[in-house]
Amino acid sequence: MTNAFQSFPAGPRALRQLLLGAAAALTLGGSLGATSILSPAYAQSAAQLQTQRATAPVAIPGVVPSFADVIDRVKGAVVSVRVRLGEAAEDSESTGMPGLQPGDPLERFFRRFGEGGAPGMRRGGPARQSMAQGSGFIISGDGYVVTNNHVVKNAQEVVLGLDDGRNLHAKVVGTDEKTDLALLKIIEAGQFPFTEWTDGSPRVGDWVLAVGNPFGLGGTVTAGIISARGRDIGAGPYDDFLQIDAPVNRGNSGGPTFDVYGRVVGVNTAIYSPSGGSVGIGFAIPASVARDVIGSLREHGRVERGFIGVQIQAITPELADSLHLKTSKGALVADAQPNTPAAKAGLRSGDVIVAVNGEPIEAARELSRKIAALGPEKKAQISYLRGGREASVEITLGALPDQAASAQSAPGRQSEDLDRLEGPRLGLRLAPGRGGVTVAEVDPASPAARQGLREGDVIVDVAGKPVTRPAEVADAVREARRSDRKSVLMRVRTGDSTRFVALPVSPG
C-alpha cells in the first residue's frame, strides 16, 4: 500500500494520514464504519458527510464524495429520447460539426452524439425511414422537456422513456438551430418529476455529473469536472461551451450535466473524438444560455434575438498593429449593413466595439452573444473606438432576420499579378470586379493564402481607400512598403460576409 501512495506527488501531511487511515480501515475492518482504526480527521469528516447527505451532497475536503443521494433525487427527471425520422436522404449532413468545411482536418474529431440514425451519423445511401436516440430532461411538473435540436430534427414521432419504465409520446414545441436546443412537451397529462437550472456560474474544477442514454443504455451516470469554459468549437455563432471530462458518448446528446446539488449546469451536445467514443473531452451548452433560449421557445415557440446589423471579426495582433490599437480586445466592425440599427446610428467599417451597456467586450463572439441576448426593441449603449478615440452611441436593437443569400462577384477578364511587385512574393492575381477587385488566383504557399484569401474573394478597400482596379491595390501595397509598414490592411468580401485582412508586405 505504501508503494501505491509513493506514485502520487507529496501532499499535505494531514491528507496523507487521512488516505492511509482510509486504506487501513478497508484492509483491516472491511468497512469505513470501523472508526476505531481511522484517523481522527477522517472520522470527523465522515460524520459530517453522513449528517449532510440528506440535504446537500457536496464533497467535503479530504473525503472522496459519493453522488448516490443527488442521483436518487434527479434521475427521475432524466429521459431517453427516441425519434422516428421521416423518409429523407441521409447524406445531407456530414459527421462533422457545423462551421467546419468538408475535408477540414478537424471534421472527424468533432461529433454530435445522437445515437442510431441521427442526422450526421451516416453518409450516403438511399432515402429511407430511420430512428434516432438521445437524451433529455424534464424542467417542469407539467412535462416540458429539454433536448438537442439535432436529436429531434425532422422528427415524425418522439417517444420519451422515463426512469419509472413508462414510454410517453411528446411533441416538439420549438427548436433553435443556432444553439442546438429543442423544447418538447409530454402529451399525456400528469405530474412529472423535474429538475431546475443553476443560478450560478460553474468554475473550472467543479464536480459535474452527466446522466443520459449512451448507446441506448438508459439511466447511465458518469462523473468528472468542468475542464474549461467559453469554448468556441465552430458549432454556431453563439458558441460558449463548457468543456467537461465526465464521459459522454453517442446517445448522451440533450442530456443534463448536473452540479453536486442536482441543478442543471449544462446540456450535453458534442464530443471531441478521434475514435467516435469518449476520450474525456465533452461539450455542454451552459445553463445561462440554455435557460434563456428554452424560456423563449416555451413562450413564443421560437427565439427572438437582438440585431444591430454589423459584420464583425476577431482582432488578431496583425490587425491590431495595422489599426494602431493598443490591445486585441473588442470586436472589429468589418461592415455596417445599410438601413440597419448600426448604420443608422453611425457605426461604420473599421470601428472597434469595446463595450455594451458598460460591460467590456473581450472578443467578437462575446458581442454577438450580448446583442442577441438583449432581444429586439431593447436599447443598448455601444462604446467603440474610431481613429484612436473612444465614443458611444445608443442603439435600438432590431430583430435578427433570416440570413439572406447573395451572389459572389464574378472575376473580370483582365488580371494583374501582384507577384510582379518588388519585394516579397504575395501570391495574388487580381482582376476587376463588381464592387471592388476580385481575387482571380491565390498561390497556396503565399502570405495571402496564409491570411485566408482565396479565389473569388473581393477586395473592397485597401488602407481605408476603396479600390476598383488591380493597379490601385498594387499602389497601396507599394505605399505600405515605402512607409516601412509590416502589413497593409484590406477589407475583403467573401460571398455575403466582409472581414479585414492584414496582408504582410515586409520581409520576414
Q: In percent, how much of the chain has pLDDT > 70?
A: 71
> What integer pLDDT is reported at residue 402 of this predicted model?
57
> What integer pLDDT is reported at residue 214 of this predicted model?
82
> What integer pLDDT is reported at residue 347 of this predicted model?
93
Whether residue 294 is predicted with pLDDT greater than 90 in this model: the reply is yes
Q: Which of 101, 147, 95 is nearest to 118 (CA)?
A: 95
Whether residue 336 is predicted with pLDDT greater than 80 in this model: the reply is yes
Task: Give a three-class secondary structure readout of 147-194.
Answer: ECHHHHCCEEEEEEECCCCCEEEEEEEEEECCCCEEEEEECCCCCCCC
pLDDT band at 42 (very low <50, low <70, confident <90, very high): very low
Amino acid at 261: Y
**Cα 260 from Cα 246, distance rounded (Å):** 13
> What integer pLDDT is reported at residue 116 of this predicted model?
47
The CATH class of the 67-303 domain is: mainly beta
| Alpha helix positions (H), 172-248 | none
> What integer pLDDT is reported at residue 106 of this predicted model?
42
Between residues 274 and 269, the one the model is more confident about: 269
Q: Which residues are catalytic?
A: 150, 180, 253
**Cα 318 from Cα 124, distance rounded (Å):** 42
Mean pLDDT for all residues in the chain = 76
pLDDT band at 203 (very low <50, low <70, confident <90, very high): very high
pLDDT in tens, 233-272: 666 667 788 899 888 888 888 999 999 999 999 999 887 7
Q: Which of 408, 451, 407, 413 is nearest to 429 (CA)?
A: 413
Lowest mean pLDDT, pick from 34-43, 81-90, 290-299, 427-436: 34-43
In the chain, residues under CATH classification 2.30.42.10 are: 306-399, 416-504
pLDDT band at 48 (very low <50, low <70, confident <90, very high): low
Whether residue 26 is predicted with pLDDT greater than 80 in this model: the reply is no
> What integer pLDDT is reported at residue 476 of this predicted model?
84
3-state secondary structure (DSSP) of residue 492: strand
Between residues 184 and 34, the one the model is more confident about: 184
Burial tier of 75 (Cβ tally within 10 Å: 0-12, 13-18, 19+): middle
Between residues 312 and 119, the one the model is more confident about: 312
pLDDT band at 191 (very low <50, low <70, confident <90, very high): very high
Q: Strand 359-360 and strand 128-138: pairing?
A: unpaired
Say which CATH superfamily domain 306-399 falls into: PDZ domain (2.30.42.10)
> What integer pLDDT is reported at residue 103 of this predicted model?
41
With the CA atoms of 432, 447, 406 and 100 taken in that order, what torsion angle do they form, in degrees rounded to the nearest 10?
160
Whether residue 404 is predicted with pLDDT greater than 60 in this model: the reply is no
Q: Which of 132, 169, 128 is nearest to 151 (CA)?
A: 132
- Distances, alpha carbon 335 to alpha carbons 311, 428, 498, in Å: 5, 23, 6
Residue 502, all three cell numbers: 492584414
C-alpha of 23 from chain center: 42
**Cα 429 from Cα 353, distance rounded (Å):** 33
> What integer pLDDT is reported at residue 496 of this predicted model?
78
Between residues 335 and 7, the one the model is more confident about: 335
Q: In percent, how much of the chain has pLDDT > 90?
A: 27
Whether residue 16 is predicted with pLDDT greater than 60 in this model: the reply is no
In the chain, residues under CATH classification 2.40.10.120 are: 67-303
Whether residue 27 is predicted with pLDDT greater than 50 in this model: the reply is no
Between residues 431 and 167, the one the model is more confident about: 167
218-251: buried (b, 16+ CB within 10 Å) or exposed (e) per residue? bebbbbbebbeeebebebbebbbbbbbbbbbbbb
Lowest mean pLDDT, pick from 62-66, 100-104, 267-271: 100-104
pLDDT band at 74 (very low <50, low <70, confident <90, very high): very high
pLDDT in tens, 148-164: 999 998 888 999 999 99
Q: Is 74 left (phi over 0), alpha (psi -120 to 50) or beta?
A: alpha
Lowest mean pLDDT, pick from 98-102, 363-367, 499-503: 98-102
416-504 belongs to CATH 2.30.42.10: yes
Burial tier of 161 (Cβ tally within 10 Å: 0-12, 13-18, 19+): buried
